[in-house]
Amino acid sequence: MNTKKAFVVGSGKLANAILKSDFSIPTVELLPWQSSGTTTSPSIVIHAGSGRELKDCLEFCARTGSVLIELSTGLETEKLETTFPLIICPNTSILLLKTLFMLQQFGHNFRDYEISIMESHQSSKTTEPGTAYHIANSLHVPHERVISIRDAKTQAYKINIPVAHLEKHAYHQIVIKDQNDEIKIETKVLGHDSYSSGVKKIIEACIKNKLANKRHTVLDLVYMGLL
């Protein structure tokens, strides 16, 4: 049985959570990223870093035909054309991804209504809110109208994020109004367990299926029934 290496790039909370999780995929060896000279065999690279090592990752994937799973947002990979499979993942919570897919498919039906979008993450998050922007795109709402909350008191007492998860949470609220009628959709992810579990399922999908050598979004995998 051939074992495929999966390298995790990054030193932040998400990267560490993935490395510490129990993946238990028999054919996969999960390792921290060291350098592009680690192996010459096709592998899986999970990029959860700031972008400092991204060039090295891209060169490695191009040379070895490896799959690159991009977990960071706001980087050049979001518009990059590649000769290897690249999967853009603004989020890896599978339940949330299926909700995003639903909005992507049917969001245009709400473009004539009053829509507000609010998101909340831990105060240490400095990158753009990729999931909220994806929601905004699906509902034809300008990014500048997305409300971002980073204040712990607001998160704890107005959004009701448990204090234990203030430093590891992702919350999104969508409100669609038509005069006195209102629909509210809320998503709440506490901790990194669901993200790690989602990454595992994405890796399994990459191993079981031959993806085209191009840029994909993780919602493409949902559309193909792979997640």
pLDDT per residue as tens digits for the range 89-112? 988 999 999 999 999 999 999 999
Task: Examine the pLDDT at 1 and tell me if it is beyond 60.
Answer: no
- Mean pLDDT, the chain, rounded, equals 92
* Confidence (pTM): 0.85
Geometric angle at alpha carbon 23, from 58 and 223, rounded to 5°: 65
Buried b (16+ CB within 10 A) or exposed e, 77-90: beeeeeebbbbbbb
Task: Examine the pLDDT at 66 and tell me if it is beyond 60.
Answer: yes
- The mean pLDDT value for 1-10 works out to 86
Contact 174, 139 (CB under 8 A): yes
**Percentage of the chain exceeding pLDDT 70:** 98
In angstroms, the CA 207 to CA 210 distance is 7
Geometric angle at alpha carbon 10, from 69 and 91, rounded to 5°: 45
pLDDT score at 20: 86
**pLDDT tens for residues 11-65?**
888 898 898 887 778 888 899 998 655 678 899 999 999 889 999 999 999 999 9
Buried b (16+ CB within 10 A) or exposed e, 186-224: ebbbebbebbbbbbbbbbbbbeeeebeeebbbbbbbbee
**Percentage of the chain exceeding pLDDT 90:** 75
Contact 97, 219 (CB under 8 A): yes
pLDDT score at 37: 59
Q: How confident is the model at residue 152 (pLDDT cuts 50, 70, 90)?
A: very high
pLDDT score at 153: 96
**pLDDT tens for residues 175-221?**
999 999 999 999 999 988 888 899 999 999 999 999 999 999 999 99
Cβ count near 145 (within 10 Å): 10
